[in-house]
Structure 1
Amino acid sequence: MHVEIIEGADAFRALREDWIAVYDSDPEAQFFLSYDWLFGTRGGPGHTGLVLAARAEGPESPLVAFTSLRCRTQHGSEGFSTEFGFSGNYVSDYNGFICRPEYEDQAIPAMAERLKQMTWGSLRFLSLAASSRRAELFMNRFSPQEFGFSDISMVNPDGVDNGICPFTLLSSDWDDFLQTRVSSNTRQKIRRYMRQVEGSDVYRITHTDAATLERDMDLLIELWTQRWGKRKGKRLAAILDTNRRMLKHAFMTGTLFMPVLWHGDRAICALAILVDQRKGSYNFLIGGRDEAFQDLPAGLVMHGYAIRHAIAQGMVKYDFLRGNEPYKYSFGAQEFHLKSVLVEPKDREACAPSLDARSLAFVLRRSAELWREKKPAEAARGYDQVLEIEPHC
């Protein structure tokens, strides 16, 4: 099994047909590993990274497995080091790799082995979505004699576990879904309140299009911030910027379904859902509702509406993504569990150097800042690390 490193926008474009073919063949593939999400626009999380691609035999044989990675540069007391992780770290709800199932025994360990041979000081795998078998095929290449493993907690301060992902399988008929997936009490509420919305001249539900995208994103983000903004603290601005960028990216790739519930001219609830036509799933990314509006349970109505819409479009799965918030279980949800882990060499000196050439631009920039901040020893250490890699820099 031969594993290539592929980088650059032109090379990513050339991968499109191969990536989609592997994606379609892989029963474990999910939206956040789709070509559209990773590379569909220059705003996709994969565009700033690299791809490990496995071939079954020689250079003319087809590609059979992929993982998209990105490097970050860490700065500590011992200087700078490179950390590799999934391209979707901090952006995608799920991460991992795609592989033709008949090649997984060879291709997945081969990609891990190629990554092990690269220059880094740590590996950060966030929200790994893979079967236990595939996860072991990948992680077993990192021997516990050589590497230390630290589980990364995915539990929020409020107790919500982002390592638990509720999802519900859809029936081919809306009434059948209500009859078989939800409790009688929830079924009655959904029917009653949806009739109230759809039988009224006051309520209406709109779908975001090119003319309303900016307005609807502003509405959703404002509603979400009302509920969660204070809890996010200093991270709020970065979170909102990321959400806005990814919503635009999804819209540009034709994968965004965004219904908005109105009461007159007042927006009271909005959902952003990522649509995977190839795998038949609706993936609920983010939502917001007006907490002051108490005339009906807007969240229940809108998720019911979205699930009915998904069924009408022939979808087979409604994924609530990360977080075990109780409301998600009202729709007959099952659970999928993620894994997040940090991998570090036990003997750092034996593994030196830990700085990849992809980190040099950052190290030069940061070392200059350290010099201006009157930290000459730290700046010098950074420059020395650059010269180890590029002696003529």
Structure 2
Amino acid sequence: MIVDLIDTFEQLDRAAGEWEAVYRADPHARYFVSFRFLRDWLQSFDSHWFVLAAKPAPKSSYEAFLPLRLRTYARPDGRCVSEILMAGNYGADYTGLVALPDRARSAIPALARSLKLMHWSRLNLDYVPADDMRYRQLLAHFKEPGFRLDSEVRVNQRDNVNNLVCPTLELAPTWEGYLETLSANMRQKLRKLLRQVEADPSLSITQPTAATISADIEAMNALWLARWAERKGTERAHRILATNRQLLLDAFGRGDLFMPVLRKDGIMVAALATLVDPLKKAALFYMTGRDESFEGPAPGLLLHAHSIRSLIGEGFRTYDFLRGDEPYKLLFGPRMQHLQCLRIATRSGLNLGDRLESRAIRSALTLATVAHRKGRFRQAAAGYTQILATNPNDADALYRYAQLLDKVGQADHARLLLRRAAYARTRTRADG
């Protein structure tokens, strides 16, 4: 197997058709690892994303994709280490590998070899399917003395919600057929809720249009914020909404957003945003916002019922509540899909090979510069030295390290680095 590293959108777009074919064939792959989702999502990041793409021969089609991101941070001593994340974090409820079912066993050793050639201290396999044995096969390639393997639980201690469980409905071909899978009490409740809306002229359920989508998302976000800001903290809540805002706008632009809005006398009282996967006919409930003071029909249950009925009518086969086993989700009769968060870490806590990954240099330079400006000269020097060990001709690192050395009284060394920086810049301009 050959593994290519894709890290530009031009390369990514050339692989779009092959990715889509592999995604369709992979029974474990869900919307958040589809090309249509990740193509927009990756634009939220800089050049730190990359995809490992495996194929059997140079002119063959790709048979597996592993979309990843690199994040770099400074240790207390100033040395920088990187961790590899799944590319979908932290907007995706599912992440992981996309592979042809009968070719994954060949692709995984090649992907593991490629990962071992990179320079990282931790690999985070977050929110990958627990019943997908391919991740255990991948971890088996890291059962060596230099690595530590671990897993994490994700249970919210405040309300005992397990965020490694995704309640998912297998939808019947008809609404009435779906209702027959529920308890008599739940059937009656959902029918009553839908009748209440249909009988009350002050209530309506609408879908956003191109003219209203931005305002509708903002209104839903405001309702969500009123409910969650105190619990999550205002700053974190606003970060979550910023991510969700762009994700939902992108989904609307692709035609992948189903977002019923419940209005009372024309004013939004609740909205429910669901991502829809046209390739696998899967719907994934993503977020909701509701006016807690609304005294009409229970808006959450109502909008889920409306969504399920509408999506069954459009031929959708699954309705996924995504992460969290909150009690209200269980009323709809789901089966439980289990996820896992796996960790591969170097025992030393340092990057493999004790070097910086080349794509981490800009982040390391920023971290060293911040330490420099704050007067943490020892930490800054460790960062600059580490960068120069990877790229001895990095003009910015040479120049800033020279400034630091001059500041601490090492003028001769500083002048030497300044000459190297000037030469490096001259060479860069000449090559350009």
Q: Give the alignment's TM-score, normalised by structure 1.
A: 0.95
1:54 aligned partner:
54
The runs of 5 or more residues in structure 2 that have no matched partner are: 395-432
For residue 290 of structure 1, what is the aligned residue in structure 2?
291
Return closer, same or farther for 1:60/1:130 CA change in 2, 3 Å cut-off: farther
For residues 5-24 of structure 1, the aligned pairs below 5 Å read 5-24=5-24
- 1:40, CA displacement in angstroms? 3.9
Give the counterpart letter for 1:80 in structure 2.
Answer: C
Quote the Cα distance in structure 2 between the aligned partners of 1:41 and 1:88. 7
Q: Which residue of 1 aligns with 2:33?
A: 33
CA drift at 1:209: 1.7
2-structure distance, mates of 1:325, 1:250:
25
Q: Give the aligned CA root-mean-square deviation in angstroms.
A: 1.7
The question of 1:363 aligning with 2:370 is answered: no
Aligned equivalent of 1:321: 322
Conserved 8 A contact 2:81-2:350: no
- Structure 1 residues 380, 179: CA separation in 2 closer, same or farther (over 3 Å shift)? same
Corresponding residue for residue 116 of structure 1: 116
Residue 150 of structure 1: CA displacement?
3.1
2:148 equivalent to 1:145: no
Distance 1:348 1:366, change over 3 A: closer
- Number of paired residues? 391
Distance 2:47 2:20 in 1: 16
Q: 8 Å contact 1:20–1:34 — kept in the other structure?
A: yes
In 2, the alpha carbon distance for the partners of 1:51 and 1:350 equals 20
Partner of 1:104: 104
- After TM superposition, give the deviation of residue 350 of structure 1 in Å: 9.3
Letter in 2 for 1:131: D
Residues 175 and 273 (structure 1), Cα distance of their counterparts in 2 relative to 1, 3 Å cut: same
Q: Deviations over 1:294-349 (max 9, x none)?
A: 22111111000000111001010000001111110111011111111232112457
Amino acid at match of 2:309: R
1:77 alignment counterpart: 76
- Structure 1, gaps ≥5 residues long: none
Distance change >3 Å, CA 47–CA 285, structure 1 → 2: farther
* Post-superposition CA distance 1:259-279 (Å, at most 9, x none): 100111221110111100111
- What SS does structure 1 have at the residue aligned with 2:172? coil
Shift of 1:290: 1.2
What CA distance in whole angstroms lies between the structure 2 residues aligned with 1:144 and 1:161? 31
Per the alignment, residue 425 of structure 2 pairs with none
Q: Which moved more, 1:319-328 or 1:293-302?
A: 293-302
Residues 358, 48 of structure 1: CA spacing in aligned structure 2 closer, same or farther, 3 A cutoff? closer
Between the aligned partners of 1:176 and 1:328, the Cα distance in structure 2 is 19
Describe the SS at the equivalent of 1:102. Answer: coil
Equivalent residue number for residue 219 of structure 2: 219
Q: In the alignment, what sits opposite 2:382?
A: 381
Amino acid at match of 2:361: L
Deviation sequence 1:31-50 (CA, Å, 0-9, x none): 00111100047636798511
- More displaced stretch, 187-196 vs 333-342: 333-342
Cα drift, residue 134 of structure 1: 1.5
* Structure 1, 98-107 or 126-135: larger mean CA deviation: 126-135
Measured in 2, the distance between the counterparts of 1:350 and 1:19 equals: 30
Deviation at 1:230, TM superposition (A): 1.1
Measured in 2, the distance between the counterparts of 1:48 and 1:214 equals: 29
Contact 2:285 2:322 in 1 (8 A): yes
In 2: Cα distance, 1:119 partner to 1:41 partner: 24
Tell me the TM-score normalised to structure 2 length. Answer: 0.87
Letter in 1 for 2:189: K
Cα 1:45–1:365 change in 2 (3 A) is: closer
SS of aligned partner of 1:244: helix
**Larger deviation: 164-173 or 45-54?**
45-54
Q: Per the alignment, in what secondary structure is the counterpart of residue 52 of structure 1? A: strand
2:405 maps to: none
- Structure 1's 279 and 349: CA in aligned 2 closer, same or farther, altered over 3 A? closer
Which residue does the alignment assign to 1:231? 231
1:90–1:40 CA distance, 2 compared to 1 (3 A): closer
Confirm or deny: 8 A CA contact 1:121 1:355 kept in the other structure: no
